[in-house]
Amino acid sequence: MYNGRDYLAEAIDSILGQTFTDFEFLMLDDGSSDGSDEVLDEYERRDPRVRILRRPGGGNRGLTASLNELLAEARGRLTARMDGDDICLPNRLERQVGELDADEECTCLGSGVILIDSTGRETGIDEIPLLHERISKQLMQGRGGVLRHPTMLARTQGLRDVGGYDERYRTAQDLDLYLRQ
């Protein structure tokens, strides 16, 4: 995350309040200057599942490099993704882990999203296709949003096997990753 102090506590609380509780929670501060580090420090002190990564000397390297750093540090067999201004429903991880565990051939999945404004008011629902064939077809057409990146849960080794995120891409790094999985 980068300069996300205004939304950070709610985002973190939505993960720590999951019905599925057996996880390591990695966060990387990408050189924030808004006091986000103070919020992160407090959560790291309070919950042993939280581990904060910081770059020596600070600096902002961007999303794609940050995602690769987090992937390199991940210890779990599955990797969930979200942004510092997202909020997860309490059963997100439980449902996604259950789905991935039930289908050994599935390497990655996501979900639709409830869109909210800066006050938390719902502004719409963005659903995604549910069938593999439709998802694959839309990804091949260049529609990366068909699998919402902040809702992704994937097998960690599978992400590593394809080389993680391609740092040549500042945007659409998720589409590139999905196409290589």
DSSP letter string, 86-107? ----TTHHHHHHHHHHH-TT--
d(C-alpha 39, C-alpha 136), whole Å? 39
Its pTM stands at 0.91
Q: What is the pLDDT of residue 143?
A: 79
pLDDT at 21 (0 to 100): 97
Confirm if 36 and 54 have CB atoms less than 8 A apart: no
The closest alpha carbon to 69, from 114, 16, 15, 30, belongs to 30
What pLDDT is stored for residue 53 in this prediction? 94
Cα–Cα distance between 91 and 70 in angstroms, integer?
A: 23
Q: How do the pLDDT tens digits run along the chain, 181 residues long? A: 899 999 999 999 999 999 999 999 999 999 999 999 999 999 999 999 999 998 766 788 999 999 999 999 999 999 999 999 999 999 999 999 999 999 999 999 999 999 999 898 999 999 888 888 888 888 888 877 788 899 999 999 999 999 999 999 999 999 999 988 8
pLDDT, position 56: 67
